[in-house]
Amino acid sequence: MQLQQRRIGHSGLTSSALGLGCMGMSEFYGATDEAQSLATLEAALAAGVTLFDTADAYGFGHNEQLLGRFLRQHRGQALVATKCGLAREPGSYARRVDNTPAYIRQACEASLARLGVEAIDLFYLHRLNLDTPLAESMGALAQLMQEGKIHAVGLCEVSAATLRRAAALCPVAAVQSEYSLWTREPEQGVLAACRDVGASFFAYSPLGRGFLTGTIAGAASLDAGDFRHFNPRFAGDNLARNQAIAGLVKRMAHDKGCTPAQLALAWLLAQGDDIIPIPGTKRIAYLHDNLGALDVRLDAAELAAISAAFPLGMAAGARYTDEGMKGVDA
């Protein structure tokens, strides 16, 4: 099956209009099940999804290894995007942002081995630490591309100004940042910068870490060990205030005749052909619900009404804890 395709910057690569975020298959969102995750990966590919997003930091390498097991059965059928630069200590959420050339090369080699591929299709700096000169970091990525170890370069959670500087040093095919109805900060300059430099925009957490689906009534809705227990938007009074957002998505979706997830994703897809949402899931039912967004058509009046209903800054609480915000908007 073939889904709508969208190009990835000027890299020559194309992706299905919706990708699949794989992080939750290893950690952060409660209990994991490898068999279930592998079945979801297979179902995604069968449904036409061609872009699978991971990172070396997810599960301390486990997520890349899991994806590697899947990719071995499907050579040449899927694109893999992974990331480096966010160093974590096992068993801890604490992180260190490392953009040194030596670390970038070491991380790339390790990711290639875990994924079992000869080249990484899209290789991101997961976060930026400008204590390392940008020219050195981008030079390291350019060298890996020249050597054929990666096909395209991406940056995550980058500021508009840094993106423009980086793109002058090395072609940047993609930017990945959080973007959804309750996180619209990319509209304040990053999307415009992406278009200026020819980079596609990959929207992670396009469903607000599941909140916009309307299925999270409170802390009891989350598994033990789910990192959302500690996320500011899911805490106490913030969670109570944010229920109004989920309720509004649900009502508008009902009026449109689609699910809340489909409405939120359809709105994102309509923000430009250069935007590729990558909702994450480890369950086949949620995967198919998300893909249903590709069949939802929103006219200009509907898009304007949705945009007006969810203004920038509507959500209560920060996107992450202070630790999680390291390297964001650098």
* Mean pLDDT score of the chain: 94
pLDDT value of position 223: 78
Q: How confident is the model at residue 70 (pLDDT cuts 50, 70, 90)?
A: very high
Mean pLDDT for 70-82 is 95
Q: Over pLDDT 90: what percentage of the chain? A: 80
pLDDT at 93: 73
Using 50, 70 and 90 to split pLDDT, how confident is the model at 225?
confident
Q: What is the pLDDT of residues 259-302, one digit of tens each?
A: 999 999 999 999 999 999 999 999 999 999 999 999 999 999 99
Percentage, residues of the chain above pLDDT 70:
99
Identify the sign of the CA torsion 113, 118, 124, 130: positive
pLDDT of residue 17: 98
pLDDT score, position 117: 97
Q: Which of 29, 58, 179, 204 is catalytic?
A: 58
Answer yes or no: are the C-beta atoms of 221 and 199 closer than 8 Å.
no
pLDDT of residue 94: 77
Residues 234 and 206 sit within 8 Å (Cβ to Cβ): no
Residue range 302-315, pLDDT digits in tens: 999 999 999 999 99
Q: Residue 31 burial (CB < 10 Å; 0-12/13-18/19+)? A: exposed
Average pLDDT over residues 234-240: 88
> What pLDDT band is residue 324 in, cutting at 50, 70 and 90?
confident
Q: Which residue has the tokens 């990708």?
A: 19
pLDDT at 234 over 90: no
pLDDT at 54 over 80: yes
Among 10-14, 184-188, 218-222, 284-288, name the one with the lowest average pLDDT.
218-222
CA-nearest of 121, 305, 277 to 206 is 277
The pLDDT value given to residue 198:
98
Told to judge if 124 belongs to the known catalytic residues of this protein, a careful annotator would answer no
What is the arithmetic mean of pLDDT over 66-75? 95
Can you tell me the mean pLDDT for 234-261? 94
Q: Is the pLDDT of residue 29 over 70?
A: no
Q: Is the pLDDT of residue 99 over 80?
A: yes
Report pLDDT for 7.
98
Average pLDDT rounded to a whole number, residues 26-45: 87
- In the chain, the amino acid numbered 95 is R
Segment 8-15 shows an average pLDDT of: 98
Name residue 79's beta-bridge partners: 51
Residue 53 has pLDDT above 90, yes or no: yes
What are the φ/ψ torsions at residue 52 (nearest 5 degrees)? -120, 125
| 191 phi/psi in degrees, rounded to 5 | -60, -40
At residue 159 the predicted structure's pLDDT band, cuts being 50, 70 and 90, is very high
* pLDDT band, very low/low/confident/very high, at 323 (cuts 50, 70, 90): confident
In 3D, which of 138, 134, 132 has the Cα closest to residue 96? 132
Percentage helix, strand, coil for the chain under 3-state DSSP, each rounded to 5: 45, 15, 40
Neighbours of 300 (CB within 10 A): 8
Domains of the chain: 5-209+265-298 (3.20.20.100)
pTM of the model: 0.95
> Where do the H-state alpha helices sit in the chain?
34-47, 62-71, 101-115, 134-146, 160-167, 190-197, 236-256, 260-269, 284-291, 300-309
Q: Alpha-carbon distance 241 to 245, whole Å?
A: 8
